[in-house]
Structure 1
Amino acid sequence: MSNPEVTRGERVQTSERTGRRLAGAAGIMMGSIMLSRILGLARDAIISGKLGQGDASDVYMAAFLLPDTLFFLIAGGALSSAFIPVFTEFLAKGEPNKAWDLFSSIATIMFVAVGAAIALGFTFAGPLVALLAYGFDARLIDQIVPLTRILLPAQLCFFLGGLMMGAQQARGRFLIAGMGPNIYNVGIILGGLLLADWLGAAGFCWGALIGAVAGNFALQVWGVARTGGRYHVSFDWRNPATKRVWKLMLPVIFGLALPQVSIILNRIFATMLDTPGPVSALTRANTLMQAPLALFGQSLSIAVFPTLAAQAALKEWRSFGATISLGMRYVMVLTLPSAALLLVLGRPIVTILLEHGRFTRSDTIQTTIALSYYALGLAAWSAQAVLARAFYALQDTRTPVIIGTAVTLVFIPMNFLFMRTFRMGHGGLALATTVAAAMNASAMLLFLHQRIAGLSGIGGGDVMELRRLANAGIRATIGAAAAAVAAFLVAYSAGHLVSTATVLLAPKVEAGVLLLCGGGVGSLVYIAAIHVLGLRELSELTRLLRRRRSQHPSTSVP
Structure 2
Amino acid sequence: MGAGGEDRAGEARPAAAAPPPVRMQKALWLSAATMASRVLGLLRDQLFAALVGANAFSDAFVTAFRIPNLLRDLFAEGALSSAFVPTFAETRAHRGEAEAWRLANTVVGLVLAVVGSLTLLGMLFAPQVVALMAPGYAPAQAALAAKLARVMMPFLLLVSLAAVSMGMLNAQSRFTAPALAPALFNVGSIAVGLGLWAAGWPPERAVVGWSFGTLVGGLLQLLAQSPSLRAAGFRLRPRLGRAALADPGVRRIGRLMGAAVVGLSATQVNIVVNTIFASHQERAVTWLNFAFRLMQLPLGVFGVAIATVATAGLAQRAAARDLAGVQETLGSAMRLVAFLNVPSAVGLMVLSRPIVALIYQHGRFTASDTAGTAGALLCYALGLYAYSAVKVFAPAFYALDEARVPVLGSVLGMASNVALNLALFPVLGYRGVALGTSLSATVNFAVLAIAWRARHGRLGGAGVYRQLLRVLGATGALAVAAWGAERALEGHLGAGHGLARQLALAFVPIAAGLAAYLAAARLLGVKELSDLAAAWRRRAARRRGARA
1:475 to 1:425, Cα distance in 2 relative to 1, 3 A: same
For 1:267-286, list aligned pairs within 5 A. Answer: 267-273=275-281, 276-286=282-292
1:549, distance to aligned residue in structure 2 (A): 7.0
Partners of 2:380 and 2:298 in 1: CA distance:
12
The corresponding residue for 1:494 is: 489
The corresponding residue for 2:20 is: 18
1:265, distance to aligned residue in structure 2 (A): 2.8
The answer (yes or no) to whether the contact 1:267–1:282 under 8 Å persists in 2 is: no
Partners of 1:441 and 1:62 in 2: CA distance:
27
For 1:496-535, list aligned pairs within 5 A. Answer: 496-499=491-494, 503=495, 505-535=496-526
**How many residue pairs align between the two structures?**
526
The answer (yes or no) to whether the contact 2:5–2:320 under 8 Å persists in 1 is: no
2:531 to 516, 523, 540: 540
The corresponding residue for 2:352 is: 346
The answer (yes or no) to whether the contact 2:348–2:378 under 8 Å persists in 1 is: yes
The answer to whether residue 414 in structure 2 is matched with residue 431 in structure 1 is no
1:443, distance to aligned residue in structure 2 (A): 1.2
For 1:144-155, list aligned pairs within 5 A. Answer: 144-155=145-156
Partners of 1:258 and 1:303 in 2: CA distance:
25
Partners of 1:328 and 1:346 in 2: CA distance:
25
1:17, distance to aligned residue in structure 2 (A): 7.1
Question: 3-state DSSP class of the match of 2:174?
Answer: coil
1:518 to 1:145, Cα distance in 2 relative to 1, 3 A: same
Show CA shifts across 1:344-375 (max 9, x none). Answer: 11111111110011111111000000000111
For 1:96-107, list aligned pairs within 5 A. Answer: 96-107=97-108
Partners of 2:324 and 2:398 in 1: CA distance:
17
The corresponding residue for 2:239 is: 234
The answer (yes or no) to whether the contact 1:23–1:545 under 8 Å persists in 2 is: no
1:405, distance to aligned residue in structure 2 (A): 0.7
Partners of 2:25 and 2:444 in 1: CA distance:
29
The answer to whether residue 479 in structure 2 is matched with residue 484 in structure 1 is yes
Partners of 1:368 and 1:51 in 2: CA distance:
19
1:3 to 1:241, Cα distance in 2 relative to 1, 3 A: closer
Show CA shifts across 1:81-102 (max 9, x none). Answer: 1011111012223611111111
The corresponding residue for 2:10 is: none
The corresponding residue for 1:205 is: 211
Partners of 1:195 and 1:43 in 2: CA distance:
13
1:397, distance to aligned residue in structure 2 (A): 1.6
The answer (yes or no) to whether the contact 2:424–2:436 under 8 Å persists in 1 is: yes
- What is the letter of the counterpart of residue 328 of structure 2? A
2:324 to 315, 318, 327: 318
Show CA shifts across 1:149-198 (max 9, x none). Answer: 11100110110100110000111111111122111111111121113634
The answer (yes or no) to whether the contact 1:177–1:223 under 8 Å persists in 2 is: no
2:365 to 356, 359, 369: 359
Partners of 1:262 and 1:552 in 2: CA distance:
46
1:247 to 221, 245, 255: 255
1:289 to 1:326, Cα distance in 2 relative to 1, 3 A: same
The answer (yes or no) to whether the contact 2:409–2:443 under 8 Å persists in 1 is: no
- What is the letter of the counterpart of residue 268 of structure 1? I
Show CA shifts across 1:6-59 (max 9, x none). Answer: xxxxxxx9899725x633432332122101111111111111111111112111
- What is the letter of the counterpart of residue 329 of structure 2? T
For 1:36-75, list aligned pairs within 5 A. Answer: 36-75=37-76
The corresponding residue for 2:11 is: none
TM-score (norm 1): 0.90
- What is the letter of the counterpart of residue 470 of structure 1? Y
Partners of 1:23 and 1:295 in 2: CA distance:
14
1:219, distance to aligned residue in structure 2 (A): 1.9
The corresponding residue for 1:83 is: 84
1:479, distance to aligned residue in structure 2 (A): 0.9
Give the aligned CA root-mean-square deviation in angstroms.
2.2
1:261, distance to aligned residue in structure 2 (A): 4.3
Question: 3-state DSSP class of the match of 1:473?
Answer: helix
Partners of 1:260 and 1:471 in 2: CA distance:
34
Question: 3-state DSSP class of the match of 2:351?
Answer: helix
The answer (yes or no) to whether the contact 1:449–1:464 under 8 Å persists in 2 is: no
Partners of 1:158 and 1:264 in 2: CA distance:
21
Partners of 2:405 and 2:48 in 1: CA distance:
39
The corresponding residue for 1:452 is: 456
Instruction: Structure 1 unaligned segments of length 5 or more: list them.
Output: 5-12, 454-461, 554-558
Show CA shifts across 1:227-256 (max 9, x none). Answer: 111332311111121111101111112324
Question: 3-state DSSP class of the match of 1:173?
Answer: coil
Partners of 1:506 and 1:281 in 2: CA distance:
20
Segment of structure 1 superposing worse, 525-534 or 25-34? 25-34
- What is the letter of the counterpart of residue 252 of structure 1? A
1:335 to 1:134, Cα distance in 2 relative to 1, 3 A: same
For 1:120-269, list aligned pairs within 5 A. Answer: 120-195=121-196, 197-198=200-201, 199-215=205-221, 217-235=222-240, 236-259=244-267, 261-269=269-277
Partners of 1:378 and 1:331 in 2: CA distance:
10
The answer (yes or no) to whether the contact 2:53–2:364 under 8 Å persists in 1 is: yes
Partners of 1:53 and 1:374 in 2: CA distance:
19
The answer (yes or no) to whether the contact 2:33–2:176 under 8 Å persists in 1 is: yes
1:3, distance to aligned residue in structure 2 (A): 7.2
Question: 3-state DSSP class of the match of 1:442?
Answer: helix
The answer (yes or no) to whether the contact 1:85–1:395 under 8 Å persists in 2 is: no
Instruction: Structure 2 unaligned segments of length 5 or more: list them.
Output: 7-14
The answer (yes or no) to whether the contact 1:380–1:441 under 8 Å persists in 2 is: yes
1:211, distance to aligned residue in structure 2 (A): 1.0
Show CA shifts across 1:379-427 (max 9, x none). Answer: 111111100111122122221111211221121121111101xx10111
Partners of 2:303 and 2:16 in 1: CA distance:
23
1:313, distance to aligned residue in structure 2 (A): 1.4
The corresponding residue for 1:301 is: 307
The corresponding residue for 2:12 is: none
Partners of 1:153 and 1:163 in 2: CA distance:
16
1:60, distance to aligned residue in structure 2 (A): 1.4
1:16 to 1:159, Cα distance in 2 relative to 1, 3 A: closer
Partners of 1:189 and 1:404 in 2: CA distance:
34
- What is the letter of the counterpart of residue 473 of structure 2? I
1:2, distance to aligned residue in structure 2 (A): 4.1
Segment of structure 1 superposing worse, 223-232 or 303-312? 223-232
The corresponding residue for 2:418 is: 412
Percent identity between matched residues is 32
Show CA shifts across 1:422-448 (max 9, x none). Answer: x10111110001111111111101112
- What is the letter of the counterpart of residue 475 of structure 2? A
1:531, distance to aligned residue in structure 2 (A): 0.9
Partners of 1:78 and 1:16 in 2: CA distance:
25
The answer (yes or no) to whether the contact 1:118–1:152 under 8 Å persists in 2 is: yes
The answer (yes or no) to whether the contact 1:24–1:545 under 8 Å persists in 2 is: yes
Partners of 2:168 and 2:17 in 1: CA distance:
25
1:110, distance to aligned residue in structure 2 (A): 2.0
